[in-house]
Structure 1
Amino acid sequence: MLLAACTEKPQTNAEGVKHDAVPWSGTGTQANTGTAFTAPGWKVGDKTAWEQQIKARSNGQNEYIREN
């Protein structure tokens, strides 16, 4: 008896490795020109502003900080 089951296709990357950009580089070329998800006031390419936005976002999601 022969089993015929679904098999996973090989996951090869024909285009090679795609290196990502630094997170604070953004999607736009000027301030506030990113996507609808870009935080207002964030400056494209500003690492310090990006870190502050991430910290504010994580503090907003922290239940302990929100409740106390």
Structure 2
Amino acid sequence: MITTIFRAAALFAFAVALTACGETATSDRTVRKTDSPAYQGAANPFVADGWKPGDASSWEQQMRTRAQGQNEYSRTTGG
């Protein structure tokens, strides 16, 4: 009876070890690369206000505004 339990546990451990060998690394996946700059963007109704697709200066201004909104020092009220 003990040998049966031992064999079942060994078989289970062997099966788990084999499944771990079948995993692929995430670095093996290919990433789609775009040739266009980020400010080109998509012309759809879901873009942020004040940003015009294709305009690099409005893109940079939008990124500055967005970063400033995430700045904890500017969000606190002097207290």
TM-score by structure 2 length? Answer: 0.58
Alignment of 1:31-50 (within 5 A): 34=44, 36=46, 38-50=47-59
Over the aligned positions, Cα root-mean-square deviation in angstroms equals 2.3
Segments of 5+ residues of structure 1 without an aligned counterpart are 29-33
Question: Greater share of helix residues, 1 or 2?
Answer: 2
CA contact (8 A) 1:27 1:35 kept: no
- Among the aligned pairs, what percent are the same residue? 34
Cα distance in 1, alignment partners of residues 69 and 29 from structure 2? 39
Instruction: Answer yes or no: is 1:61 the counterpart of 2:75.
Output: no
CA contact (8 A) 2:41 2:53 kept: yes
Segments of 5+ residues of structure 2 without an aligned counterpart are 1-9
Deviations 1:8-44 (A, max 9, x none): 226254xxx743221100112xxxxx252x1113111
TM-score by structure 1 length? Answer: 0.65
- Out of 51, 55, 59, the position equivalent to 2:60 is 51
Larger radius of gyration: 2
CA contact (8 A) 1:60 1:66 kept: yes
